[in-house]
Amino acid sequence: MTLTREQVLFTLATTALVLIVVAQTWSWLTGTASVPTWRWDIPALGMGVALGLGLNGLGLLTYYLWPGFQEATAAYLTLVLRPLRVGDILWLGLLPGLSEEFLFRGVALDSLGLVGSSLLFGGLHLLELRHWPYALWAAVVGFVLGLAMVGSGNLLVPVVAHIVNNWLAGLFWYRRAQ
């Protein structure tokens, strides 16, 4: 399957919007806070950047050590990144980083717990059943981001970590896919 740049960007934007609507609806139905704890402060920003760098490094290590993950990651990211321009990587970080964290760490974490929200996050990243290693990796990342949310009490930490991780992975894969 080959996607155009417009299709990838439209899918990113549409998915972000849908996830925000799902988060708001879930929050309303469960009576949880509609806006999770979010504080702008330098320590939280620094923790998010450090966590994003760490996750990205661990992802690269996993990529080079696990052939199944390597194949699944290459298939997933080639599909998404090949049609993009380098400036589009901005959206690859921001849209999923904000919307996925709002849903999975901001709302689902309270309802499903750390393991449940992490598994749901991993499932969102399952492109095809044979690419289960990528979804498993996403579930592990979701668990770590959930721990960051629980530990910091500030959604800014996992949001920044997610954005940084996506930007770095996007830039790395963009260069490989071109």
Per-residue model confidence (pLDDT) at position 178? 64
Whether pLDDT at 176 is above 80: no
Who has greater pLDDT, 53 or 111?
53
* Average pLDDT of the chain to the nearest whole number: 93
Per-residue model confidence (pLDDT) at position 80? 84
Biggest CA–CA distance in the chain, Å, is 46
Domain span at 120:
45-177
78, 81, 108, 126, 173 from 169: Cα distances, Å: 12, 10, 25, 17, 6
Q: Residue 74: pLDDT band by 50, 70, 90 thresholds?
A: confident
Who has greater pLDDT, 8 or 75?
8
Whether pLDDT at 96 is above 80: yes
Q: Residue 59: pLDDT band by 50, 70, 90 thresholds?
A: very high
Whether pLDDT at 82 is above 90: no
Cα distance between residue 17 and residue 10, in whole Å? 11
Per-residue model confidence (pLDDT) at position 141? 98
Per-residue model confidence (pLDDT) at position 174? 81
Cα distance between residue 99 and residue 145, in whole Å? 14
Q: Give domain status of residue 170, yes or no.
A: yes
Whether pLDDT at 42 is above 90: yes
The rounded percent of the chain whose pLDDT value lies above 70 is 97
Cα distance between residue 40 and residue 62, in whole Å? 32
pLDDT digits (tens, 9 = 90+) for 102-149: 999 999 999 999 999 999 999 999 988 999 999 999 999 999 999 999
pLDDT digits (tens, 9 = 90+) for 3-40: 999 999 999 999 999 999 999 999 999 887 656 688 89
Q: Give domain status of residue 53, yes or no.
A: yes
Number of independent structural domains in the chain: 1
Q: Give domain status of residue 114, yes or no.
A: yes
Q: Give domain status of residue 57, yes or no.
A: yes
Q: Give domain status of residue 22, yes or no.
A: no
Q: Give domain status of residue 148, yes or no.
A: yes
Q: Give domain status of residue 67, yes or no.
A: yes
What is the average pLDDT across 35-49? Answer: 90
